[in-house]
Amino acid sequence: MNDDNILDVICGSDDSYLYALHGNNGTQIWNASTGGAIQSKAALFDANSDREIDVAVGSNDNRMYLFRSSDGQQIWNYTVGDDISNAASIGDVDGDNKAEVVFGSKDSTLYCVNAENGLLQWKFVGGIFSWFTSSPTLADFTGDGRIDVIVGSFISPNNGLLVLDGFTGELVYRIADDNAVSSPIVLDFNGDNVNEAVWTNDNIVYLLSISEGGNRNYWQGLSGTQEFTRTGTQVDLDPDFDFLSTMSELFYGTNPASNDTDSDLMPDGWEAYHGLNPLINDSYLDFDSDGLTNIQEFNIG
C-alpha cells in the first residue's frame, strides 16, 4: 500500500476502525473510522481504473465504505437497511469495463453499487426474512459469457442458491429449497469446460451442474481468487485489470499479463463479455449489425 514492496495488512475491528498496518513490523500506516463494528472482510481492487488499489468494507453501521489504500481517505459510503457482515465481491457485472461492488445485508437485500461513485445500480430484495450473510460469487453460470451473481440465502421465500443476472439483478434461477448458508464456489470441477457450483448447509455439501452453464469465472465469494488464497485482492485474481481472471485467460488463450491481447484497443474482458474474439483485431467490425463498429461501441460505453 505504501510502495515499499512489502505486503501490508488491512483489518477491521469492533472499535469501528479499519486499520492498515506495516507488514514487516505491525506498526500503523493509517486508520479510517466507520460508525460501527467491522466484521466483514475487506476487498482490495481498482475502483476507478487508475491502477491504484482501493478498499471496500462493510460495517455494522449499515454502510458499505470505499477507502483509498494509500492514505485511508474515504471515497464514498452507501447506506443500507441493516448490518453488512459479509465480504463484498468485485467485478464488471454490466459489461462497461468498470468495477461494481456486490454485497448482501441482513436487510434481506443484495446490492450492486458502482465502484467509482458509490451509486446504486440495482438491488434484489429476497423477502422479509431472507438474509444474505454469505458473500456472492461472480461467474458465468448461464453460458452467455457474461458475469452472473451466485449467492446463498436462507429463510424462505427465497432461500437456496440464487443466480441473478449481473446486468439487471433479476432472478434467473433459484436452486434447491434448502437454505444455502456458505459462500458458493463456482468452478469447472470435472473438466468439461462448464462451471459447477458447490455450497453447503447443515453438514451437507451440494454440487450443481447445468448443461447450458458457462465457463468464465471471476470473483469467488469471500476468497476472491480461484486458488482460494483468501487475499480478497484483484491484483492476485486479475493482475492486468481487464476483468478476465487469470484462470479465464487460460481458457480464452489470452495473455494474463496484457489487458488487450490483440492490441485492438478493447480490453480482453470487455470483448469476452460482449461475445467478441479477444485474440483477433475485430475493432472495425460490427458484431451486432447496428451500424456502429465494435470500437465505437466500446468508446460510447
Domain range for 262 is 244-300
Contacting residues for 7 by C-beta, under 8 A, at least 6 apart:
23
Q: Give the confidence band of 129 by pLDDT, cuts at 50, 70, 90.
A: low
pLDDT at 176: 66
Q: What is the dihedral of CA 168, 189, 136, 132, to 10 degrees?
A: 110
Give a yes or no: residue 277 inside a domain.
yes
Any domain includes 251: yes
Preceding omega of 136 cis (within 30 degrees of 0): no
Position 156, amino acid: S
pLDDT at 104: 92
**Bridge partners (DSSP) listed for residue 205:** 200
pLDDT in tens, 281-299: 999 999 999 999 999 999 9
33, three cell numbers:
473510522
Asked, for residue 284, whether it belongs to a domain, the answer is yes
**Is there a domain that residue 167 lies in?**
no
In the chain, the amino acid numbered 184 is P
* From 70-74, 191-195, 272-276, the region with the lowest mean pLDDT: 191-195
Domain assignment of residue 128, yes or no: no
Mind listing the pLDDT tens digit for each residue in 133-166? 789 999 999 889 899 999 987 766 667 788 999 9
Q: What is the pLDDT of residue 156?
A: 62
pLDDT digits (tens, 9 = 90+) for 77-128: 999 999 998 899 999 999 999 999 999 998 989 999 999 999 999 999 987 6
Instruction: Kindly state the percentage of the chain with pLDDT values over 70.
Output: 93
pTM of the entire predicted model? 0.93
In a domain, 206, yes or no: no
Write down the mean pLDDT value for the chain. 90
Domain count, the chain: 1
Angle in degrees, CA 219, 221, 224, rounded to 5: 45
pLDDT at residue 160, rounded to an integer: 78
Does residue 177 carry a pLDDT above 70?
A: no
For residue 24, being part of any structural domain is answered with no
For residue 55, which amino acid is it?
A: V
CB atoms within 10 A of CB 62: 19
pLDDT of 275 strictly over 70: yes
Q: Report how far residue 84's alpha carbon sits from residue 64's, in angstroms, rounded to the nearest whole number.
A: 7
Residue 239 lies in a domain: no
